[in-house]
């Protein structure tokens, strides 16, 4: 099986400050990798490089066998990205926003309504997003990321602002998306979510990799992902 995402010796430095030391890993179809670490660990830096928002200082990134820096717009359609924060235009409705992203990705209109339904926003689809709560805005961000059934889904702190019920719904959605064969990478501070949905975990601190292991191995070695996190600090 070929990996969907390949990160090969990727690092990032700015003005002689190392934000991320060289790191390599692969994510395969139907696999979920979680990035864990405190603020400044390098999680968002790595995600922004995978997303094409930052250029690696060293190394290279491939998505679906193509160099990230050389992908055409059509090739980039296999990629779904959920940033940690994005302010949608307040005067637009959720439906308008997803139709906009759907056109960019070239997906049929019915998938917009499916995405809204999956994140529980159907009843407020025609409301302006300026009145949305943080949790609703987060669910809308997730909806745009899954439009077009991407082969790779990358998310930065996707459960921020979600109430406990929606965290559980998010976990169930991730399991469903994994079962469809999508490769998933996400960062989070919520170690319970990691335990529920991730197959592999990378712990980062100050840009360095502390651990890159499967969740079952971590549970055998440390009892839980949370115990491993605090042991490695």
Residue owning tokens 């070239």: 106
Mean pLDDT of 108-129: 92
- Provide the pLDDT for residue 81: 94
User: Using 50, 70 and 90 to split pLDDT, how confident is the model at 68?
Assistant: confident
**What is the three-class DSSP state of 233?**
coil
Residue 71, pLDDT above cutoff 80: no
Give CA–CA dist 87/158, Å, rounded: 15
With a pLDDT cut of 70, the percent of the chain lying above it is 99
Higher pLDDT pick, 75 / 19: 19
Check if the beta carbon of residue 27 is closer than 8 Å to that of residue 43.
no
The whole-model pTM stands at: 0.93
User: Using 50, 70 and 90 to split pLDDT, how confident is the model at 1?
Assistant: confident
Residue owning tokens 């997303």: 51
Instruction: Tally the residues of the chain.
Output: 233
In degrees, rounded to 5, the angle at the alpha carbon of residue 194 between the alpha carbons of residues 62 and 83 is: 50
Give CA–CA dist 181/185, Å, rounded: 13
- What is the secondary structure of 105-165 as a DSSP string? HT--HHHHHHHHHHTT-GGGTTSBGGG--HHHHHHHHHHHHHTT--SEEEEESTTTT--HH
Q: In this structure, what token pair is assigned to residue 50?
A: 């995978």
Give CA–CA dist 196/190, Å, rounded: 10
Outline where the chain has alpha helix (H): 43-50, 94-105, 109-118, 134-146, 164-179, 191-197, 215-222, 225-232
Domain range for 30: 5-232
- Provide the pLDDT for residue 50: 94
Mean pLDDT of 81-97: 91
Q: In this structure, what token pair is assigned to residue 11?
A: 């690092």
Residue 52 CB burial class (10 angstroms; 0-12, 13-18, ≥19): middle
- Number of structural domains found in the chain: 1
Give CA–CA dist 178/206, Å, rounded: 30
Which CATH number characterizes residue 50's domain? 3.40.50.300
Where is 77: in which H helix or E strand? Answer: none
Note the pLDDT tens digit of each residue in 189-223: 899 999 999 999 999 999 999 999 999 999 999 99
- Provide the pLDDT for residue 131: 92
Check if the beta carbon of residue 40 is closer than 8 Å to that of residue 47.
no
- Provide the pLDDT for residue 43: 94
For residue 128, list its beta bridge partners.
93
Check if the beta carbon of residue 25 is closer than 8 Å to that of residue 7.
yes
Check if the beta carbon of residue 183 is closer than 8 Å to that of residue 28.
yes
């Amino acid at each position: 099986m070929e990996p969907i995402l390949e990160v090969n010796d990727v690092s990032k430095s700015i003005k002689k400050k190392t934000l991320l030391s060289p790191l390599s890993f692969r994510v395969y179809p139907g696999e979920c990798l979680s990035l864990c670490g405190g603020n400044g660990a390098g999680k968002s830096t790595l995600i922004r490089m995978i997303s094409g928002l930052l250029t690696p200082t060293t190394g290279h990134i491939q998505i679906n066998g193509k160099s990230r820096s050389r992908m055409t717009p059509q090739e980039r359609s296999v990629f779904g990205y959920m940033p940690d924060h994005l302010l949608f235009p307040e005067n637009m409705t959720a439906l308008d926003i997803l139709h906009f992203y759907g056109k960019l990705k070239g997906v049929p209109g019915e998938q917009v309504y499916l995405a809204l339904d999956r994140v529980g926003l159907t009843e407020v689809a025609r409301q302006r997003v300026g009145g949305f709560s943080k949790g609703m805005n987060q669910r809308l961000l997730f909806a745009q990321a899954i439009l077009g059934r991407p082969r790779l889904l990358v998310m930065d702190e996707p459960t921020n602002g979600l109430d406990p019920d929606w965290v559980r719904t998010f976990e169930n959605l991730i399991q469903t998306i994994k079962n469809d064969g999508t490769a998933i990478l996400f960062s989070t501070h919520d170690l319970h979510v990691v335990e529920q949905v991730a197959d592999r975990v990378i712990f980062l601190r100050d840009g360095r990799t502390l651990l890159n292991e499967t969740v079952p191995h971590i549970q055998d070695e440390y009892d839980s992902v949370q115990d491993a996190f605090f042991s490695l600090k």
